[in-house]
Structure 1
Amino acid sequence: MGTEGDSFRVIAGRYRLEARLGRGGMGVVWRATDQLLERRVAVKELTQDTSLSADEARLRRDRTLREARAVAQLRHPHIIVVHDVVEDDQRPYIVMELTDGDSLADRISRDGPVDAEEAARIGIALLGALGTAHAAGVLHRDIKPANVLMEDSTDRIVLTDFGIAQVEGATTLTESGSFVGSPEYTAPERMSGIRTGPESDLWSLGALLCTALSGESPFRRDSLGGILHAVVMDEVRPPAQAAPLLPVVRGLLERDPERRLDAAEAERMLRAFRATGRTPKLSAGYSPARHQDRREEPGRDATPTASRRTAASRMDAARTADKPARPAGRSVLVAAVLVAALAGAGVSAAALLMNSGEGGGGAPGSTATATAAVSGTAGATVSPGTTAPSRSSRTAPSGYRLAHDPRGFSLAVRDDFTRTEQGERVFYLSPGETFRLGVRVVDPEPGGPLAVMRRADAAGPSSNPGYRDGRVTETVHGQQVAALWEFTWDGFSAAEGPRHTYDLCWEEGGRMYDVWVSAPVGKLRMAKEYFDVALDTFTPGV
């Protein structure tokens, strides 16, 4: 934190840098004063790549300044205002408005996920911002919660950090050999090295909405290879909290960019939800606007561009390879797509192929190849046009084992979890019982899963010491109606400390299933992973 005095650095003879507000992959953001207009501003100092030659550095600097000036022309209430773009000592700086709030990422970290109403408000604001940017030929390419500001004084939502934005038609940083952006929020066509357009920002918005609603990206994994595999190949599984907005989220997370929900329809659906409180539906006869443009614009060739044909063929190949009949072909495809994606991120292709099963590291005939680096699970939600493997064909991720329980079900649990019974409940416990994964199988109860969870929520204070923040949400599990119950409590002893529980209940095949995980509040990411893996691999009647 800076102090008043002569130690302040002044750039371009005008902007006094006073205190560092944050640092990211593309540079440092400073709180500053515009000494000419006597106003507070934010200044982004873009980092220099010392590995570049002088000519390469000059070309990158020129491109950065050109694209920053294009962003400065954007005018929208939900886009950060860029006041100036300057150069000082051959380094570019972007001068922006200074907002008085935290980022969406900070707010989620401090206060937890938002409800569907707030997520819809955020989505509408960002769709408006992206519409203005895309109309001007500017792609953001780094939509994520850390780049969305929530202004305290007005509750205004502000899209910021166009530091890696691309002006339409310009050469991208990715094409010059360096992957830019945040992998958990990056569209699969960008991961696969296909030249992208506005629809890639819309995928990122879909991932952001999932994070806002659940607290975590659906593509979060423990390694870069795992993240890339999740984005490019795994089935997309939105969190249960996304149920009120599920058609929007699923539409935005459609892997084929040609079939992805467009901005206008996404905004209409979110506005409909805010007006009615009901889960929105697609307009009758809807197809993405970019398809309509090709069909309806006189004299325009309706044949997709080469890049889009490539994208479609890769997506079709991915879907075919997901079918369990040809596991060896799937492992080759996974490796090939990930090699293309990882090449820009500096990850060794040889290391990836060793993990794919082709180098002897995987079991023969396994359909879970190329997942040695993946910690997490493929989800149960299937995009339109895809074929999901049956649950009985699924295998346990690396570090897990498939437990065939004598109570008549199977699921994947961590290798070191041990089984115990307590009445009608079965527990799989981590060493020291830090994590407790429970399963209950009973006859259906009156009112179905939602009523069961609501009754449990009402009885929470009597069954769980220090019960608080209970929330029951209607959702789906596979094709079944389900209910998710979340709550925080104080644990059974002072030594145990505060804990959080995720609990999903659904009916299937004439039985009611209840699966939950309980963990210390400081270990929720791992708990959510164990919970998701258990649900995704859960098979009744085994």
Structure 2
Amino acid sequence: MGTEGENVRVIAGRYRLEERIGRGGMGVVWRAADQLLGRQVAVKELVLDASLSAEEARLQRERTLREARAVAQLRHPHIIVVHDVVEHDERPYIVMELIDGGSLAERIGTNGPVDAREAARIGIALLGALRRAHGAGVLHRDLKPANVLMEAGTDRVVLTDFGIAQVAGATTLTESGSFVGSPEYTAPERMSGDRTGPASDLWSLGALLCAALSGESPFRRDSLGGILHAVVVDEIRPPAQAQPILPVVRGLLERDPDRRLDAAEAERLLREFLETGRTPRVPVPYTPTERDVPRRAVPPPPLPPVREVPEAATPPATDVPRNAKQSARGVLVAAALVAAMAGAGVSAAALLMHDGGSGGNTPASSGPPHMSVSAGPSHPSSQGPSPAPTVTVTRSPASVSASASAADHKAPSGYRQVRDPDGFTLAVPDGFTRSPQGERIFYLSPGQTFRIGIKMADPEPGGPIGVMRAADADGPSTNPGYHDGQVTETSHGGNPAALWEFSWNGYTAAEGPRHTYDLCWEQGGRMYDVWVSAPVGKIREAKEYFDVAVDTFVPA
């Protein structure tokens, strides 16, 4: 097929292939000489499916050349320059600029992971490249460290290998019905066979940033099945090294493409980090309507908004309020994961996340619309809730007196009165299960969408209001994306109490923005904390659960 021997060939009468410099699933890359213009270039020789008929092969070549030419129209400093697209001996070739320097994957393999500032710089460059490509209707679909070149001497970041790129409205380049791409960097919607778009490339960028910072993708597993399960179902755990730009990584690794961080916002946040050196704050994607936000409990006893106990400041963990005086420690809670894979497609059940209650010494809880709640966030623990026995809660009066008995606070319809082994009773919704986590007790809804937390501890200096104010002050460090925190001094059953309410971004991109109600109070020489955490879109339900929990809580 060549004109000058097995290893040295001239294609299209112009490009002399001199040395193989790379090989991938889509073909071989050669260092070549452009004999017409006297310059060095890179030539990618695309391999076609040998099982195709002659007619199918012809159609595939035409499609490949057509789409490669569309990619060649892209002009951006961080996108590889495509000089020419030719066909030789019925095989397509793409002629590109030759970048003197290895790939990001090679750099990581040789020198180890990069720091956050360098990762942000690389991310900004790639976001610019993707915005240009997406604006032209071109999807990359195989963004990974091996397809990012780092030019020697300039450190220019260059996105290359649009070998399986897809042009809007066209059939996937060189695709014959089988899966194309690198599973560890492939968005869940592609894994599941759903329609994909620009957001899928942004997911890949999130995985790439994790790999650049830690040395490997967060979805790396020992088998293909394990990788697919990790991408579609498993809890997403960004590496600790991603902390400085965690809001960006989490935003990009949002399983729901409609809620995924977009390119413009991701670039803005990364630039903010480079300019200030501080972790950027991401605005909550969901803006609650006035009816959704329970400012001052809806019903009678208008309790001031309650803020959920600060959760572990570490990546993916359950919502667990943290002690204002303790440093945030990583909280990790196993969630029920279910995934089904059939053939090349994969479908998975929703990822279950966890909520935590108050941290330190007080338990946090949420209750119906107007009840007081114990503060939990001020005393975080390093552990999160895990599934346990099922329980139901009953709704009762807005306040509970210190001498009240469990019998005085019956569970409302849809709840069940629970006598907890730790020596207290309360009403929890039907179907909720108990999950003890150290000194905290959690009652979790199926899927852990709603998390009720309880904590009992010795009183602390400053009382409930001091504990909750300290927790509020530590909110940004314990709860990712913490905002709208409010602490109100109140009373509960005639005892001093404090109500804390706040919103935050959740521990993982998968679980999304959450809202927390937390009541802390002193009673009989003990401090109690009861809280409820839930998605921002389910605030009304969360408030009811919170009020019921607080109204029906009776210590031993």
| Other-structure match for 1:35 | 35
Q: Supply the distance in 2 between the matched residues of 1:21 and 1:140 (Cα, whole angstroms).
A: 22
Q: 1:59 to 1:241 in 2, by over 3 A?
A: same
Q: 1:7 to 1:180 in 2, by over 3 A?
A: closer
- Structure 2 matches for 1:114-129, cutoff 5 A? 114-129=114-129
Q: Supply the distance in 2 between the matched residues of 1:227 and 1:478 (Cα, whole angstroms).
A: 28
Distance apart, 1:235 and its partner CA: 1.4
Distance apart, 1:393 and its partner CA: 3.8
CA shift digits 1:411-434 (9 cap, x unpaired): xxxxxxxxxxxxxxxxxxxxxxxx
Distance apart, 1:381 and its partner CA: 9.0
| Other-structure match for 2:267 | 267
| Other-structure match for 1:70 | 70
Q: Supply the distance in 2 between the matched residues of 1:286 and 1:37 (Cα, whole angstroms).
A: 55
| Other-structure match for 1:150 | 150
| Other-structure match for 2:344 | 343
Distance apart, 1:172 and its partner CA: 2.3
RMSD of Structure 2 on Structure 1 (CA):
3.3
* Partner SS, residue 204 of structure 2: helix
Q: 1:5 to 1:251 in 2, by over 3 A?
A: same
| Other-structure match for 1:53 | 53
Q: 1:391 to 1:226 in 2, by over 3 A?
A: farther
Q: Supply the distance in 2 between the matched residues of 1:92 and 1:381 (Cα, whole angstroms).
A: 51
- Structure 2 matches for 1:326-341, cutoff 5 A? 331=338, 334-335=339-340, 338-339=341-342
Q: Supply the distance in 1 between the matched residues of 2:173 and 2:68 (Cα, whole angstroms).
A: 14
| Other-structure match for 2:391 | none
Contact 2:106-2:146 within 8 A present in 1 as well: yes
Write the letter of the residue equivalent to 1:12: A
* Partner SS, residue 282 of structure 2: coil
Q: Supply the distance in 1 between the matched residues of 2:96 and 2:121 (Cα, whole angstroms).
A: 24
Write the letter of the residue equivalent to 2:171: T
CA shift digits 1:178-228 (9 cap, x unpaired): 100000000000001011100000000000000000001000000000000
2:137 is equivalent to residue 137 of structure 1: yes
Contact 1:32-1:43 within 8 A present in 2 as well: yes
Q: TM-score, normalised by structure 1?
A: 0.55
Q: Supply the distance in 1 between the matched residues of 2:67 and 2:16 (Cα, whole angstroms).
A: 24
- Structure 2 matches for 1:199-218, cutoff 5 A? 199-218=199-218
Distance apart, 1:476 and its partner CA: 8.4
Q: Supply the distance in 1 between the matched residues of 2:152 and 2:36 (Cα, whole angstroms).
A: 27
Q: Supply the distance in 2 between the matched residues of 1:5 and 1:47 (Cα, whole angstroms).
A: 19
| Other-structure match for 2:177 | 177
Distance apart, 1:10 and its partner CA: 0.3
* Partner SS, residue 86 of structure 1: strand
Q: 1:188 to 1:13 in 2, by over 3 A?
A: same
| Other-structure match for 1:252 | 252
Identity %: 76
* Partner SS, residue 102 of structure 1: coil
Q: Supply the distance in 2 between the matched residues of 1:7 and 1:187 (Cα, whole angstroms).
A: 38
- Structure 2 matches for 1:14-33, cutoff 5 A? 14-33=14-33
Contact 2:187-2:200 within 8 A present in 1 as well: yes
Q: 1:86 to 1:33 in 2, by over 3 A?
A: same
* Partner SS, residue 231 of structure 1: helix
Q: 1:285 to 1:49 in 2, by over 3 A?
A: closer
Distance apart, 1:324 and its partner CA: 9.9
Structure richer in helix, relative to its length: 1
Q: Supply the distance in 1 between the matched residues of 2:10 and 2:86 (Cα, whole angstroms).
A: 12
Q: Supply the distance in 2 between the matched residues of 1:205 and 1:44 (Cα, whole angstroms).
A: 23
Instruction: Report the structure number with the largest CA radius of gyration.
Output: 2
Q: Which runs of 5+ in 1 are unaligned?
A: 288-322, 357-366, 369-377, 383-388, 395-407, 410-474, 480-542
* Partner SS, residue 44 of structure 2: strand
Contact 1:173-1:180 within 8 A present in 2 as well: no
Contact 2:165-2:173 within 8 A present in 1 as well: no
CA shift digits 1:298-352 (9 cap, x unpaired): xxxxxxxxxxxxxxxxxxxxxxxxx999x7xx75xx21xx22xx426xxxx9xx9
The count of residues paired between Structure 1 and Structure 2 equals 321
Distance apart, 1:49 and its partner CA: 1.1
Distance apart, 1:94 and its partner CA: 0.1
Distance apart, 1:155 and its partner CA: 0.9
Q: Supply the distance in 2 between the matched residues of 1:89 and 1:266 (Cα, whole angstroms).
A: 44
Contact 1:235-1:381 within 8 A present in 2 as well: no
Q: Supply the distance in 2 between the matched residues of 1:155 and 1:145 (Cα, whole angstroms).
A: 15
Query: Larger relative contact order (C-alpha < 8 A, sep ≥ 6)?
Result: 2
Distance apart, 1:391 and its partner CA: 4.8
Contact 1:381-1:478 within 8 A present in 2 as well: no
Q: Supply the distance in 1 between the matched residues of 2:6 and 2:344 (Cα, whole angstroms).
A: 46
Q: 1:45 to 1:217 in 2, by over 3 A?
A: same
Contact 1:236-1:381 within 8 A present in 2 as well: no
* Partner SS, residue 206 of structure 1: helix
- Structure 2 matches for 1:471-510, cutoff 5 A? none
Q: 1:62 to 1:119 in 2, by over 3 A?
A: same
Q: 1:5 to 1:165 in 2, by over 3 A?
A: closer
| Other-structure match for 1:485 | none
